[in-house]
């Protein structure tokens, strides 16, 4: 755990933007991973998507309850491991 992690209180509400290929499966993959790692603290009805200006990429925004820095790290790694994901912000 880093010094900056100690300054943040957990659990806390957290939002992520996942950027990846502009295919419908990206949103489904992100939702599946969020449900797996966040359970009831994630509401799939609140997921929003936005295509990039040239239509190549899609941004998927999600909100959830982060339980700890380790929870965030595990979630980031799981999302980044998806072949359709280019960035997790």
The dihedral sign for the CA sequence 61, 68, 75, 46: negative
Task: Give the pLDDT band of residue 5 (cuts 50, 70, 90).
Answer: low
Residue with the bigger pLDDT between 70 and 3: it is 70
Answer yes or no: is 82 within a domain. Answer: yes
11: phi then psi, degrees, rounded to nearest 5: -70, 160
Cα-based distances in Å from 60 to 6, 22, 52, 88? 28, 10, 11, 10
User: Is 4 a domain residue?
Assistant: no
User: How far is 60 from 88, CA to CA, in rounded Å?
Assistant: 10
Give the total number of structural domains in the chain. Answer: 1
Q: What is the mean pLDDT of residues 12-30?
A: 97
What pLDDT does residue 7 have? 81
User: Angle at the Cα of 18 (from 24 to 10), degrees rounded to 5?
Assistant: 135
Residue 36 domain flag: yes
Q: How many helices (H) and strands (E) are present in the chain, helices listed first?
A: 3, 4
Q: Residue 68 is part of a domain; what is its CATH number?
A: 3.30.70
Domain limits at 28?
10-55+63-88
Does 2 have pLDDT greater than 60? Answer: no
As a whole number of angstroms, the distance between CA 69 and CA 20 comes to 24
In-domain check, residue 67: yes
At 31-79, the pLDDT tens digits run 999 999 999 999 999 999 999 999 999 999 999 999 999 999 999 999 9
């Amino acid at each position: 755990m880093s010094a900056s992690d100690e300054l943040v209180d957990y659990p806390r509400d957290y939002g992520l933007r996942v950027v990846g290929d502009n295919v419908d499966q990206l949103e489904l993959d992100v939702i599946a991973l969020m449900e797996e790692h966040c359970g009831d603290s994630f509401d799939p009805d609140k997921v929003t998507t936005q295509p990039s200006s040239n239509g190549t990429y899609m941004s998927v925004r999600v909100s959830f309850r982060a339980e700890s820095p380790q929870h965030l790290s595990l979630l980031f790694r799981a999302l980044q491991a998806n072949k359709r994901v280019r960035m997790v912000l």
